[in-house]
Structure 1
Amino acid sequence: MQTITGILSSPWFLIGWAALMLPSLVSVIRDLRSKNAHLMSLMRLDWCLTVVYSGLLGLLIYLNCGRKEIPRDTLWRRAFRSVAHCYSGCGAGEVVGLILAVGLFQLGNTGIAALTFAMAYVAGYALTVGPLVEKGVPVRTAIRDAVLSETPSIAVMEIVAISVDLMLSGKAGLGDPLFWSSMIVSLTLGFIAAYPVNVALIHWNVKEGMMDPRHTHHGGHEDRPQGTQSTG
């Protein structure tokens, strides 16, 4: 553990991360604009945030699962798109929660975990409920659908991510490289942990997963439980 934290404490880890993440982000943005502009705006944002959080891994997932150029759609590709959708909102909530908990409120581990988990949950649900309501789905229906389809994924993602972050970062503050490095590692591990959950939920028809990018048109299709009427 000391070896890992020693690596993460070095500014060179963040420099190396940025050196991989920024070109990956540029590559995704260029591809989305030139070849996959037909994807709904929310999913384009999801892919950009996935790359911001997970760098080269996010780029590889996008190239293999999120473009119209994929040869065919599969359960594993649908699950990756579903996780990316969840990840973008939860990741934003987690980043904001950690910054507030550590930098502003200077909470202990219990407070950090509680606030971060709450922020991630709110952001994750908002990313599902908001677009559905905007497209005419009743609020109660949208909330019910979000609870059914997103709760297991968000719970697993955040339990893993927050636990790893607290374990790695220790008492690191906002000015310490370890704070940001631990956040990067924890976000990606949370993504990986939530992936099999989404595979199972889609396999069991609890959720459909995001639409095949080869068939997506303007207006899109939100990730929702099986049987919910299309809002696209």
Structure 2
Amino acid sequence: MSEHNHHRTHGAPQATLWSQAVSATLHCLLGCSIGEVLGLAIGTALGWHNLATVVLSIALAFVFGYSLAMRPVMRAGLTFAAALPVAFASDTVSIAVMELVDNALMLVIPGAMDAGLSSGIFWGSLVVALAVAFVVTVPVNRWLIARGKGHAVMHQYHH
């Protein structure tokens, strides 16, 4: 952990840590939502089995989540090769928790995965699953940020 991150997170007031956690989770939610919606839409439209659809949506959530995490650090001057490990360090746990919760809920909500893209059940279930995943992931991100991990590793690149 760098000295910069140590001072930014460990000494931060509780409200600041929660604010940073909400911000980090919103950022994660955006990438996860793009990948999730795209993966579920593709899998559902193609009539894929639930497992294949979930695997695709998780893979795309990580791709879009990491891509969005890399944008600001690359704008700060890092190359793609240097930005990739920063994105992995900042977002892997957050994306994993969000995807675990989101996909578990999509699988257990009756009819959600079989409803089809034109169904309110599909889209309503997806909104509920993403909202619950957000609520579960905020405290995880707060815990990580308080320890100089997770999204805290990106703070040095936000200018």
TM band (smaller chain): 0.7 to 0.9
CA distance in 2, matches of 1:230, 1:145: 10
Structure-1-length-normalised TM-score = 0.58
Q: Distance in 2 between matches of 1:195 and 1:229?
A: 21
Deviating above 3 A after TM superposition, structure 1's stretches of 4 or more consecutive aligned residues are: none
Task: Report if aligned partners of 1:98, 1:116 keep a CA contact under 8 Å in 2.
Answer: yes
Deviations 1:49-75 (Å, cap 9, x if unpaired)?
xxxxxxxxxxxxxxxxxxxxxxx9521
Distance 1:200 1:125 in 2: 20
More relative contact order, 1 or 2 (CA 8 Å, 6+ apart) = 2
Q: Are 2:76 and 2:157, in contact at CA under 8 Å, matched by a contact in 1?
A: no
Q: Counterpart of 1:225 in structure 2: which amino acid?
A: V
Counterpart in 2 of 1:92? Answer: 34
Q: What secondary structure is seen at the aligned counterpart in 2 of 1:83?
A: helix
- Tell me the equivalent position of 2:92: 151
Distance 2:84 2:116 in 1: 36
- Shifted more, 114-123 versus 139-148: the winner is 139-148
* Alignment counterpart, residue 76 of structure 1, candidates 18, 29, 39: 18
Partners of 2:158 and 2:67 in 1: how far apart?
16
Cα pair 1:136 1:231 within 8 Å, conserved: no
Size of the alignment, in residue pairs? 144
CA drift of 1:92 comes to: 1.2
Q: CA deviation at 1:134?
A: 3.0
Question: C-alpha distance in 2, partners of 1:80/1:130?
Answer: 19
1:148 shift after superposition:
1.0
Structure 2 residues not aligned, in runs of 5+? 1-13
The answer (yes or no) to whether the contact 1:137–1:231 under 8 Å persists in 2 is no
Q: Could you list the runs of 5+ residues in structure 1 that have no partner in the other structure?
A: 1-71, 210-223
The aligned counterpart of 1:187 is: 130
Structure 1 match to 2:5: none
Q: CA deviation at 1:112?
A: 1.1
SS at match of 2:149: coil
Residues 1:177 and 2:105 aligned together = no
Bigger share in helix: 2
- Percent identity (aligned): 35
Aligned counterpart, 1:129: 70
Residues in 2 aligned to 1:82 and 1:183: alpha-carbon distance in whole angstroms: 20
CA distance in 2, matches of 1:174, 1:231: 38
Instruction: Decide whether the 8 Å contact of 2:102 with 2:129 is kept in 1.
Output: yes
Is contact 1:128-1:146 (8 Å) kept? Answer: yes
Equivalent runs, 1:1-16 vs 2, <5 Å: none
**What are the equivalent positions in structure 2 for 1:1-232 lying under 5 Å apart?**
74-103=16-45, 105-168=46-109, 169-207=112-150, 209=151, 225=153, 229-232=156-159
Alignment partner of 1:172: what SS? coil
Greater gyration radius = 1
Which TM-score applies when normalising by structure 2? 0.83
The answer for the alignment partner of 1:29 in structure 2 is none
Measured on the aligned residues, the alpha-carbon RMSD in Å equals 1.8
Match of 2:9 in 1: none
